[in-house]
């Protein structure tokens, strides 16, 4: 099954999620720059979520890059991930509008955690398909970054009820730990040079675009 | 005519439909987690519709995968399907906000039924083009799942006026019956291994994709 | 210059335009089916605009199918068309909410007229590039349908101030006249069999997918 | 790494940004054409932003057309650009609703400036990857247009606090200076005729795309 449409649909959904969040930032009623100040938590919440969806898009991009065949199971695992991510605008708005109140901040973490679990499920559905000896399996490795970020959410969620701002900072850290994983896949990809194609129609004169 | 843009446009519309529904879930005014409780029917309505649009996307994906040529008729049948699906966010919101009141729940079923009929029309417009001996015809078969789900809607719609919650459950069942049809196409596809391309590439003499 | 991204961007914008219009249809406050009645003009306005954007997408699809090279001029002509179409949700909402009042109905026609002119400009920018002997030039022909629809708008716009409902019907007629033009291109495309490719890398054994 | 999805995701985000702005133009409450008059600044603000996002899309299109490999750094530079552009609908609305008041008009300029800087960063991240002898480096040249537009914003931003309408005009000029840069790339592209592919396909021995 072609992965083209899975990527296109996911790109569409992620692009919309990342963009519609800005609709939630209502223009202030006043015309003075000072009337922006109450929007500060809304804006911070927006930045956090933009970063979050951006990272998911980037990781999703890398993950599917090394995927050769899409099965029904992968399709549903992908839709499951998109479902939790589609709730990000809702929790972003609530957390921002409530000025990082305990309840909304906790819910935000729960959604991030569930999205993280959904990503992990998608990754494993694809790994099952690709096999243990695949480029993807090597690239993902022990996936300690993914596990670490899930652990951070598990700590931050109950903490949100007591110290929501610290929880918010931990969410940010949890996201930053995802910023690097791409490297793993990227490194492996460059070792195997344009992996998916390279395995099917390789060499032909060792033409690389890197040595120029 | 290339089916690429038909897929891209449909992906775009379905991605937007599935995502903008979340805009309808207004963040609660309060900051306590308890203020989420009145949102429960809105959320359930959202989950139902997300599942519904996700299934349509998945089936649409499989259907077009086995389509070799797009005619004007197929284009309009596709747009007709997208029209009814575009009304899903409207009925989702009304059904959720009205807490599954009889009227809105009935209307929701009507839209699902009309979308189901539109999908059936699209399928048959494509089958007409592909021919009775095509891979698609074999994959679709007697389409009892499609027919069953239409039947379920026909039962659930009048029932919605008396027992809207039972109707809601039936809608869910109707959707779940669509969850499996992909298998049919998938199985057939794997028998023929990457059907459209596989039949094109190897022979290089037979030239027709239909007689394989 | 690749036309892929021009198509992708246009598909994205048109998919969003056609879908966000439904956001304007607010769910009625009541829970009775009767509360839908005041929405009738809003719904009719939505149907008209859905048809309109659908037709533009379809014609745009056919037009670019026969385009071989995209210049800066074509890019801006395309953006110009998208600009007027992006105003369709605005005028749709106003016309619907005002129950087809003279002013909004007239403005709706003006936007349709300007979009029609923008399409004509895009067509001619592409024809200039393709040349008089191109498949596209043959497919477009004298373009009497395009001209007729522009004429209909010119009649309907002033009429809207006196008899807005008749103007609305004329807009519908103007759109229906666009429903057929695709045929022209389609017919020519099939005469030349998969035109753009056919001209560069033709025959190779007269392999057609049509004769199966 | 494939640039296809980077383009697709950017196209999606830009298409949504350019289209959702129209949602901010609320239909007037009245039904007379005269009730449109207070919308004039909102409309002007919309036109300015549509032009702005359209130009960014066009430049982005040209820039990536000459890009051969996408690294993690380019991916994040691209996401950074999309972040500032995603704030355009917010500042567009505020500037329009406030009728070009000093504060909102200044903020609008700041966002345009930051987007301009982000574009410059993206361009340089790609140039670093492509090398000094690449087609892109030749096409970009000294990039005086990009620099000039950044300079215009730097002048217009403080001016907005005194004469917001003049600042608005300067923003328009800053944008128009971007309208031409495409030509640079286009000219270079046509000298090399369909650069990326043309350099790949013919030789089949030289193997490097940079030394052409």
- Rounded distance, CA B99 to CA B155, Å? 21
Q: Find the residue in C nearest to D53 (Cα).
A: C79
Chain A residues lying within 8 Å of D90, measured CB to CB: 22, 25, 27
- Rounded distance, CA D7 to CA C199, Å? 28
Q: Find the residue in D nearest to C96 (Cα).
A: D27
Residues with Cβ within 8 Å of A75's Cβ and at least 6 positions away in sequence, in order, are A1, A6, B58, B61, B182
- Rounded distance, CA C115 to CA D6, Å? 30
pLDDT surpassing 80 at residue C207: no
Provide the whole-model pTM. 0.84
DSSP annotation of D34 reads: G
pLDDT tier at B72 (50, 70, 90 boundaries)? confident
Give the CA distances from residue B140 to residues B54, B124, B146, B187, B209, in Å, rounded to whole numbers and listed in that order. Answer: 19, 10, 10, 11, 18
Share of chain B above pLDDT 70, in %: 82
Chain D residues whose C-beta sits inside 8 Å of any chain C C-beta: 7-8, 11-12, 14-16, 18-20, 22-23, 25, 27-28, 31-33, 35-36, 47, 50, 54, 57-58, 61, 65, 182-183, 186, 189, 194
- Of B80, B98, B1, B6, the closest CA to residue B44 belongs to B98
User: What is the residue-wise DSSP string for B18-39?
Assistant: HHHGGGGSPPPSSSSGGGGGGG
- Of A8, A149, A170, A162, the closest CA to residue A75 belongs to A8
Q: What is the mean pLDDT of residues D40-58?
A: 92
Q: Is A14's CB within 8 Å of D17's CB?
A: no
Q: What is the mean pLDDT of residues C146-175?
A: 89
- Please state which of the ranges A196-210, B143-157, C51-65, C141-155 shows the lowest mean pLDDT: A196-210
- Rounded distance, CA B128 to CA B109, Å? 28
pLDDT tier at A100 (50, 70, 90 boundaries)? very high
Neighbours of chain B (3+ CB pairs under 8 A): A, C
Q: Is C107's CB within 8 Å of D33's CB?
A: yes
Share of chain A above pLDDT 90, in %: 42
Residue B210 or residue A24, greater confidence: A24
Chain D residues lying within 8 Å of A182, measured CB to CB: 72, 75
- Rounded distance, CA B207 to CA D115, Å? 51
What does the pLDDT read at residue C200? 39
Map tokens 């035109």 to a residue.
C195
Residue B24 or residue A96, greater confidence: A96
The predicted-structure confidence for B131-147, as pLDDT tens digits, reads as follows: 888 888 887 777 777 78
- Of D177, D197, D56, the closest CA to residue D135 belongs to D197
> How many angstroms separate the CA of residue C88 from the nearest CA in chain D?
9
Give the nearest partner residue to A5 out of B7, B32, B186, using CB atoms: B7
Q: What is the mean pLDDT of chain B?
A: 81
User: What is the residue-wise DSSP string for chain A?
Assistant: --SHHHHHHHHHHHHHHHHHGGGGSPPPSSSSGGGGGGGHHHHHHHHHHHHHHHHHHHHHHHHHHT-----HHHHHHHHHHHHHHHTHHHHHHHHHHTTS-HHHHHHHHHHHHHHHHHHHHHHHHHHHHH-TTSHHHHHHTT-HHHHHHHHHHHHHHHHHTT-HHHHHHHHHHHHHHHHTTHHHHHHHHHHSSSHHHHHHS--TTT--STT-
Q: What is the mean pLDDT of chain A?
A: 81
Chain A residues whose C-beta sits inside 8 Å of any chain B C-beta: 1-2, 5-6, 8-9, 12-13, 15-17, 20, 23, 71-72, 75-76, 79, 82-83, 86-87, 89-90, 93-94, 97-98, 101-104, 106-107
Chain B residues lying within 8 Å of C207, measured CB to CB: 207-208
Mutate to test the interface with B, among A16, A49, A108, A158 (most CBs of B within 10 A): A16
Q: What is the mean pLDDT of residues C184-194?
A: 49
> How many angstroms separate the CA of residue B192 from the nearest CA in chain A?
11
Q: Find the residue in B nearest to C183 (Cα).
A: B72
What does the pLDDT read at residue B179? 67
pLDDT surpassing 90 at residue C86: yes
> How many angstroms separate the CA of residue B105 from the nearest CA in chain C?
10
The predicted-structure confidence for A33-71, as pLDDT tens digits, reads as follows: 889 998 999 999 999 999 999 989 988 988 888 888 888
Question: What six digits make up the tokens of C111?
Answer: 């936007």
pLDDT surpassing 80 at residue B209: no
Q: Is D18's CB within 8 Å of C97's CB?
A: no
pLDDT tier at D71 (50, 70, 90 boundaries)? confident
What does the pLDDT read at residue A180? 58
pLDDT tier at C26 (50, 70, 90 boundaries)? confident
Chain B residues lying within 8 Å of C18, measured CB to CB: 13, 82, 86
pLDDT surpassing 90 at residue D174: no
What does the pLDDT read at residue C136? 82
Residue C176 or residue D59, greater confidence: D59
Share of chain B above pLDDT 90, in %: 42
Q: What is the mean pLDDT of chain C?
A: 81
pLDDT surpassing 70 at residue A1: no
- Please state which of the ranges A93-97, B136-140, B148-152, D100-104 shows the lowest mean pLDDT: B136-140
Mutate to test the interface with C, among B14, B16, B60 (most CBs of C within 10 A): B16
ipTM greater than 0.85 = no
Q: Is A19's CB within 8 Å of D97's CB?
A: no
Residue C174 or residue B75, greater confidence: B75
Chain B residues lying within 8 Å of C183, measured CB to CB: 72
- Please state which of the ranges B81-90, B110-119, C53-62 shows the lowest mean pLDDT: C53-62
Is residue B38 a contact partner of residue B106, using CB atoms and an 8 Å limit?
Answer: no
Q: What is the mean pLDDT of residues A166-181?
A: 79
pLDDT tier at B62 (50, 70, 90 boundaries)? confident
Q: What is the mean pLDDT of residues C110-136?
A: 90
What does the pLDDT read at residue D108? 95
> How many angstroms separate the CA of residue A17 from the nearest CA in chain B?
7
What does the pLDDT read at residue A72? 81
- Rounded distance, CA A23 to CA D44, Å? 19
pLDDT surpassing 80 at residue A205: no
Helix (H) or strand (E) holding D49: helix D40-65
DSSP annotation of D36 reads: G
Chain B residues lying within 8 Å of C15, measured CB to CB: 9, 12-13, 15-16
Angle between helices B4-20 and B72-86 (to 10 degrees): 0
Q: Find the residue in A nearest to B47 (Cα).
A: A83
pLDDT tier at A81 (50, 70, 90 boundaries)? very high
- Please state which of the ranges A160-174, B198-212, C137-151 shows the lowest mean pLDDT: B198-212
Q: Is A189's CB within 8 Å of D1's CB?
A: yes
Q: Find the residue in C nearest to D181 (Cα).
A: C72
pLDDT tier at B48 (50, 70, 90 boundaries)? very high
Q: Is D8's CB within 8 Å of C9's CB?
A: no
DSSP annotation of D161 reads: T
Is residue C171 a contact partner of residue C109, using CB atoms and an 8 Å limit?
Answer: yes
Chain A residues lying within 8 Å of B54, measured CB to CB: 79, 83
Residue A180: how many other CB atoms lie within 10 Å: 10
Chain D residues lying within 8 Å of A47, measured CB to CB: 83
Residue A165: how many other CB atoms lie within 10 Å: 13
- Evaluated on CA atoms B53, B56, B57, B58, the torsion sign reads positive
- Of A72, C103, A67, the closest CA to residue B180 belongs to A72
Cα D75-D76-D77 angle, rounded to 5 deg = 95
The residue length of chain B stands at 212
- Please state which of the ranges B208-212, C138-142, D196-200 shows the lowest mean pLDDT: B208-212
Mutate to test the interface with D, among A23, A34, A66, A204 (most CBs of D within 10 A): A23
What does the pLDDT read at residue C133? 81
Chain A residues lying within 8 Å of B16, measured CB to CB: 12, 16
> How many angstroms separate the CA of residue C83 from the nearest CA in chain D?
7
Map tokens 């999703």 to a residue.
A60
Q: What is the mean pLDDT of residues D191-208?
A: 37
> How many angstroms separate the CA of residue A211 from the nearest CA in chain B?
33
């Amino acid at each position: 099954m072609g992965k083209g449409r899975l990527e296109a649909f996911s790109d569409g959904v992620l692009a919309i999620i990342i963009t519609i969040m800005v609709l939630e930032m209502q223009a202030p009623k006043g015309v003075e720059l000072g009337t922006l100040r109450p929007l500060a938590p809304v804006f911070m919440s927006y930045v956090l979520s933009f970063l979050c969806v951006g990272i998911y898009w980037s990781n999703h991009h890398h993950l599917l890059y090394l995927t050769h065949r899409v099965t029904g199971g992968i399709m549903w695992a992908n839709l499951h991930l998109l479902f939790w991510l589609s709730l990000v605008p809702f929790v972003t708005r609530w957390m921002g509008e409530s000025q990082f109140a305990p309840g909304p901040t906790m819910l935000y973490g729960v959604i991030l955690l569930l999205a993280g679990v959904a990503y992990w499920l998608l990754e494993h559905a694809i790994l099952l398909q690709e096999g243990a000896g695949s480029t993807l399996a090597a690239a993902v490795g022990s996936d300690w970054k993914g596990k670490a970020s899930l652990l951070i959410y598990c700590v931050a969620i109950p903490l949100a009820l007591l110290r929501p701002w610290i929880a918010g900072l931990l969410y940010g850290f949890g996201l930053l730990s995802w910023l690097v994983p791409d490297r793993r896949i990227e490194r492996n990809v460059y070792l195997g040079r344009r992996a998916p194609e390279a395995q099917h129609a390789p060499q032909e004169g060792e033409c690389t675009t890197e040595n120029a």
